[in-house]
A and B are shown apart, each in its own frame.
Chain A
């Protein structure tokens, strides 16, 4: 943590960056995102295991961009989000400095995409045994049970779009949910609209989601949204060998194809 604060002070003092996006004290025992713009505020920064939010979500916000070049405290999913955003032309190289935090809490300054790529190459992004088990449990249910399970979950959705707000890849200025000509997603939070929304969100994030889990954490009614994303991420990996956020020049599996793509359902 000291290391991080020191680096932050350095970066701000030298003027290398104008703002550090990091975690700071929130209400009670909680942490929240802070935007440190003066060297003397660097001591606000916290970095411990409460700090889970994917701060990359701020990088595409016009208000944040207006502050000038940013450094961002970046756990692995945040780093992946940065590369994925780069692949989608939302960030350019050198525009952000990532203060990469390894799972053990060690900090590395990563100022180029290349460095982030190399850093990430040292980790595996397979789902954990626990995560796999959860997916498997659902897979093993009968379709009716799965339907039941998800319907109960979706019934709770109040369409606050907190999931979207928390997602670093939901940077669209005008989300499809706001399109009304035609109105693809009925606006009210009834069952059909909820189902539509969650299907669409999951499809939009296939091969883009970086598995930070913020959507589920942001959801006020506790829908395990990340499971949908994980499911599709696994599927994309299995079928097309692709993982999101590994390269700044990443190819998007769904705007790509191979003659030998395997399916068994087309007659």
Chain B
């Protein structure tokens, strides 16, 4: 027989002010199966919890209903209290008579009545609760970090320094990400490569980090602690073990006119190339699309000159499989490209460039060795217009959000330009200046006050060419929407930060959710900013939202701490709210019909097939089985299963049915 205890909380006046708690306690005491019903001022307080614990022992309770606030608030508290008194925590349920009752209804009979009913529903449920035990799963203490930008580098180093193995997978030929392309960085104007490259080298040399560049995630299976990743190592065309990075092949390659991705098209590269001299690893890759050998069938000049015989023109992509316990996605961002700005002539006029292109022009190791020369004729521009919010905060471009870093790097660009071209004129069109951050506002002020950048508040409507000048037409809203027209030699667009093109497919591979703009979603916007909804998968850097370097690094360290926490024990325990397929004595074995329609419905591929065999080993039938490591407990399969062979622990058919019967 059920012996249920009901504990009604006043929550000070929060509940008792609206609900007649004494009447509720009296009514609940009369429900069938309830042997104990009391009210108290603060159930969650120590004395409140003690009341529950004592009652469990004294009254030999088989179930507890705490009628108080939302279970989302205090369910763990009360379940813990029950466990401490020796009652299985899953025999405790909460009736939400605060958020769903006293706070949302007027004081009165109807509200008290509702509280009574909410408790009755939970009493009927708890009578059918079964003790559940958390599920233990082993943990593989190796982390997979996807993306070798600053975020991925930081995460990899932190995890490795905590003593765990790391596999770092970077899509491009070198790690470094966007930061490697930057000239100097706000708000301190320190040289980006100078602070980044030592970290890159550390990654390459770290005994606990395995680095796979020019590689991508092919698929990810499994679950927290037990993922299986397949990684595609794209054919580099170069044997990494033999290559010393001497670069003779690069000097000899006849294809010299390929726009360099690293230089954002501002410079050229060869078909066998490293993105930049500081690349890690420093071994080149062959770009087959542009290589003479792959186009024409002959050339092999690199092969001829390579003394180490490291060139492998016939190399194939290779798929490797690794077991990992956690994944950090740090795949970064992209920027909006030229096709999106016909009104600014971006892509049409060579002197309308984007922020990354400007970074390459300003970089001491860039194609112009840091001299600001405009792309069309290599002349030093006398007037430069910088346009912030190019695409950002613009519904028409489908980007309502703020790209967050453009205000800062635009100020930086204006500054860098003025430092290099002393009598040049820098104009900045902006909507608002968003410089929240340590020393950020001061930085912008310096650009305006010390370096004399002219800030004009307003949008630019059009850019066109006239007599060799770029005519920039806009308005200055601070001067009463007066039209302004500037004859510029170069225009720099701070184009919006967007998600990578393949972000959506990556999210699907990882089974993590993403927002409408394809940035990967954190599990909770405030409280779980580095976790995803998929246990064991974490986020770092700009793949989650536009971010600057300090933020990307902070998040990466956060993700690393989460991984280290996960790896701190060799087993982890999970909530037992998962689906199970029934097993019965022979000859039925299970009512599962083996239709496996649930298999496809499960969002986590948690449903497996099990062969039921007789003593001789002949298969009698094949039925479904839930992998407890994968199941997240959504219950989609339960609603789908026609014969109800599958049920969800904690929310079983019987429990929910009986809740309804209590209505």
Tell me whether B600 and A179 are in contact (CB under 8 A).
no
- With a CB–CB cut-off of 8 A, which chain A residues contact B598? 255
Residue of A nearest to B644 (CB): A179
Tell me whether A89 and B591 are in contact (CB under 8 A).
no
B90 to nearest A CB, angstroms? 19
- With a CB–CB cut-off of 8 A, which chain B residues contact A254? 597, 601, 640
- Give bound CA distance, A181 to B601, whole Å: 24
Residue of A nearest to B600 (CB): A255
Known contacts A171-B593, A255-B601; is-contact A182 B654 (Cβ 8 Å): yes
B604 at the interface (CB under 8 A from A): no
Tell me whether B653 and A182 are in contact (CB under 8 A).
yes
Tell me whether B595 and A88 are in contact (CB under 8 A).
yes
A66 at the interface (CB under 8 A from B): no
Q: Which of B599, B640, B643 contacts A172 (CB 8 A)?
A: B643
Tell me whether B591 and A174 are in contact (CB under 8 A).
yes
A90 at the interface (CB under 8 A from B): yes
B622 at the interface (CB under 8 A from A): yes
- Give bound CA distance, A175 to B591, whole Å: 9
Number of interface residues of B (CB under 8 A): 20
Q: Which of A181, A204, A251 contacts B642 (CB 8 A)?
A: A204
Tell me whether A173 and B657 are in contact (CB under 8 A).
no
- Give bound CA distance, A96 to B591, whole Å: 25
Known contacts A176-B643, A181-B654; is-contact A251 B595 (Cβ 8 Å): no
8 Å CB interface, B601-659 against A: 601, 622, 640, 642-644, 653-654, 657-658
A119 at the interface (CB under 8 A from B): no
- With a CB–CB cut-off of 8 A, which chain B residues contact A174? 588, 591, 643
- Give bound CA distance, A256 to B640, whole Å: 11
- With a CB–CB cut-off of 8 A, which chain A residues contact B594? 89-90
Residue of B nearest to A174 (CB): B591
Interface string of A237-254 (1 = CB under 8 A from B): 000000000000001101
A259 to nearest B CB, angstroms? 11
Tell me whether A176 and B600 are in contact (CB under 8 A).
no
- With a CB–CB cut-off of 8 A, which chain B residues contact A256? 600-601
- With a CB–CB cut-off of 8 A, which chain A residues contact B591? 172-174
- Give bound CA distance, A70 to B642, whole Å: 28
Tell me whether A88 and B644 are in contact (CB under 8 A).
no
B576 to nearest A CB, angstroms? 20
B596 at the interface (CB under 8 A from A): yes
Q: Which of B595, B622, B643, B657 contacts A182 (CB 8 A)?
A: B657
- Give bound CA distance, A225 to B599, whole Å: 29
8 Å CB interface, A251-267 against B: 251-252, 254-256
Number of interface residues of A (CB under 8 A): 19
8 Å CB interface, A164-180 against B: 171-176, 179
- Give bound CA distance, A184 to B653, whole Å: 9
Residue of B nearest to A205 (CB): B642
Q: Which of A171, A173, A181, A252 contacts B600 (CB 8 A)?
A: A252
B328 to nearest A CB, angstroms? 27
Tell me whether B600 and A175 are in contact (CB under 8 A).
no
Tell me whether B643 and A89 are in contact (CB under 8 A).
no
Residue of B nearest to A204 (CB): B642
Q: Which of B597, B653, B657, B658 contacts A255 (CB 8 A)?
A: B597
Q: Which of B596, B653, B658 contacts A88 (CB 8 A)?
A: B596
Q: Which of B601, B622, B642, B657 contacts A89 (CB 8 A)?
A: B622
Tell me whether A252 and B643 are in contact (CB under 8 A).
no
Tell me whether B654 and A255 are in contact (CB under 8 A).
no
- Give bound CA distance, A176 to B644, whole Å: 7
A30 to nearest B CB, angstroms? 32
- With a CB–CB cut-off of 8 A, which chain A residues contact B654? 181-182
- Give bound CA distance, A148 to B601, whole Å: 36
B487 to nearest A CB, angstroms? 48
Tell me whether B657 and A251 are in contact (CB under 8 A).
no
B1 to nearest A CB, angstroms? 18
- With a CB–CB cut-off of 8 A, which chain B residues contact A173? 588, 591, 593, 643
Q: Which of B595, B643, B653 contacts A90 (CB 8 A)?
A: B595
- Give bound CA distance, A179 to B598, whole Å: 19
8 Å CB interface, B73-87 against A: none
Tell me whether A172 and B642 are in contact (CB under 8 A).
yes
Tell me whether B643 and A175 are in contact (CB under 8 A).
yes
- With a CB–CB cut-off of 8 A, which chain B residues contact A255? 597-601, 640
- With a CB–CB cut-off of 8 A, which chain B residues contact A182? 653-654, 657-658
- With a CB–CB cut-off of 8 A, which chain A residues contact B640? 254-255
- Give bound CA distance, A102 to B200, whole Å: 71
Residue of B nearest to A60 (CB): B593
Residue of A nearest to B656 (CB): A182
- With a CB–CB cut-off of 8 A, which chain B residues contact A184? 644, 657
Residue of A nearest to B655 (CB): A182
B631 to nearest A CB, angstroms? 16
Residue of A nearest to B601 (CB): A255
Interface string of B86-99 (1 = CB under 8 A from A): 00000000000000
8 Å CB interface, B476-511 against A: none
Residue of A nearest to B594 (CB): A89
8 Å CB interface, A117-144 against B: none
Tell me whether B597 and A252 are in contact (CB under 8 A).
yes
- Give bound CA distance, A181 to B653, whole Å: 8
B609 to nearest A CB, angstroms? 9
- Give bound CA distance, A44 to B640, whole Å: 43
Tell me whether B600 and A89 are in contact (CB under 8 A).
no
- Give bound CA distance, A172 to B593, whole Å: 6
- Give bound CA distance, A181 to B658, whole Å: 10
- Give bound CA distance, A9 to B643, whole Å: 40
Tell me whether B643 and A179 are in contact (CB under 8 A).
yes
A186 to nearest B CB, angstroms? 12
Tell me whether A176 and B642 are in contact (CB under 8 A).
yes
A261 to nearest B CB, angstroms? 14
Residue of B nearest to A251 (CB): B600
- With a CB–CB cut-off of 8 A, which chain B residues contact A181? 654
Interface string of A151-173 (1 = CB under 8 A from B): 00000000000000000000111
- Give bound CA distance, A184 to B660, whole Å: 12
8 Å CB interface, B141-183 against A: none
- With a CB–CB cut-off of 8 A, which chain A residues contact B642? 172, 176, 204
- With a CB–CB cut-off of 8 A, which chain B residues contact A88? 593, 595-597
Which residue of B588, B595, B644 has the most chain A CB atoms within 10 A of its CB atom?
A: B595
- Give bound CA distance, A172 to B597, whole Å: 13
- With a CB–CB cut-off of 8 A, which chain A residues contact B599? 255
- With a CB–CB cut-off of 8 A, which chain B residues contact A90? 593-595
Residue of B nearest to A255 (CB): B601
Which residue of A89, A176, A181, A255 has the most chain B CB atoms within 10 A of its CB atom?
A: A255
Name the 7 nearest CB pairs between A and B, nearest first. Answer: A255-B601, A182-B657, A88-B595, A174-B591, A255-B600, A172-B643, A204-B642
Known pairs A204-B642, A252-B600, A254-B601; list 16 more (Cβ under 8 Å). Answer: A89-B594, A89-B595, A89-B622, A90-B595, A172-B593, A172-B643, A173-B588, A173-B591, A174-B591, A174-B643, A175-B643, A182-B653, A254-B597, A255-B599, A255-B601, A256-B601
Please name 22 pairs of A and B residues whose Cβ atoms are closer than 8 Å in the assembled complex, sorted by A.
Answer: A88-B593, A88-B596, A88-B597, A89-B594, A89-B595, A89-B622, A172-B593, A173-B591, A174-B588, A174-B591, A179-B643, A179-B644, A182-B653, A182-B654, A184-B644, A251-B600, A252-B600, A254-B601, A255-B597, A255-B599, A255-B640, A256-B601
